[in-house]
Structure 1
C-alpha cells in the first residue's frame, strides 16, 4: 500500500476507532443481559436455529431470569465486566494520539485477544459451556486481533517512515 505517512496515520486511527467502538459496544451490552437474552431467544425461535443452539440460548435466558429474580446482586459482576470493557477502550487514547510511541498498548491488546482462547478452552468445560459456544467466545479474540494486526502493521510503516525521515535530516 502506497501513500503518505499522513495516509497511514489516518488508516491506523480508523482501525483503532473501529476497535474502540467495538469494545465500547461490547461493554454496554453487558449491562442489559435480561432484555438482550429475551430478544435473542425470541429471534432464535423465529429463525431456523439448530436445536442445540436454541436449547443453549433458552438455558442462558432461564439462568439470567432466575438469577435476576433470586440473586440480583450477581449481575454486579457483569456490571464490572462492562466497566472493564469501557476502561480498556479508554486505554487506546494513547495509541490514537501517537501510535508509534504507544505501540505497547496494541501489543498488549493482541496478547489479550490471544488469551481468550486458553480461557475459553479451560474455563468453558469447567463451567459447563458447550464447545460450540466456547468457539463463539474464541472468535471474539480472533476477530478483535484483525484490526489490531492491521494497526500494528501500520505502526511499523510509520516507524520506518520516521526512521527514514530522521536519517534524511541527519
Structure 2
C-alpha cells in the first residue's frame, strides 16, 4: 500500500515537472510578444519595466541585425523539451531511474553559481539573477520529495528481498 502511495506521489510531481519544463521551453519561442505583454503589465518607468524595455529593444535589434542568433533561442527551447522527456524515465520506473532525479537535483543546485557568475559577466541585474535562481528553488522543491520517496521504495524493496532470502530453506518431507 505504501509503495502505491509513493509511486502516485512521485508520478504526480514528475508530471507537473515535465509539463513545467515543456511549457518553459515553449515560452522561449515567442519572446518578443511575451516581452511586449510583460511591458503592458508593469509601469514603464519601474525597474522591471526599464529592464523589459531593454530586453525588447535588444531582441528587436538582434532580429534585424543578426537573426541567426535567434537560433540560440530555438536550441534553448529544444533543450527544455529534451530535459522534460528525460524525466519520463523516473515517472515510469522511479527506482531504476533514480539517477535522473539526482541529475535534476544537481542541475537545480548548479543554477545558482551559473546564474551569479554568467549574470555578473553579462551585466544582468542582480534581482533578475534571483529570478533565474527561483527556477532552481522550485525545481528542487518538486524533485527532492520525489527523491526521498524513491529512497523509501528502495529501502522497502531491499527489506522484502532480505526477508525472502534469509528465510531458511526447509527440506520438503517425503
TM range (shorter): over 0.9
* Matched residue, 2:30: 32
Distance of 2:39 and 2:60 partners within structure 1: 12
Equivalent in the alignment of 1:20: 18
Question: What SS is found at the alignment partner of 2:94?
Answer: coil
CA positional deviation for 1:69: 2.2
- Structure 1 residues 160 and 50, CA, compared in 2 at 3 Å: closer, same or farther? farther
Q: Which residue of 2 aligns with 1:73?
A: 68
CA distance in 2, matches of 1:147, 1:125: 28
TM-score, normalization by structure 1: 0.92
Spell out, residue by residue over 1:48-98, the C-alpha distance to the aligned partner (whole angstroms, 9 max, x if none): x87211111111111112211222211100100000010011111211111
The CA deviation at 1:103 is: 0.3
RMSD of equivalent CA atoms: 1.4
* Structure 1 residue runs without a partner (length 5+): none
The equivalences for 1:68-147 within 5 A come to 68-147=63-142
Report the 3-state secondary structure (helix = DSSP H, G, I; strand = E; otherwise coil) of the residue aligned with 2:28.
Answer: coil
Give the equivalent residue in structure 2 for 1:64: 59
Matched residue, 1:148: 143
* SS of residue matched to 2:42: helix
Q: Which has the larger radius of gyration?
A: 2
- 1:31 is paired with a residue whose SS is coil
CA distance in 2, matches of 1:50, 1:164: 62
Count residues with an aligned counterpart: 165
Residue 155 of structure 1: CA displacement?
0.3
Deviates more, 1:65-74 or 1:82-91: 65-74
Structure 2 unaligned regions, length at least 5: 166-174
Query: Residues 119-157 of structure 1: CA distance to partner in whole angstroms, max 9, x if unpaired?
Result: 111110111100000010011111111111011011011
**Structure 1 residues 41 and 86: CA distance shift in structure 2, 3 A:** same
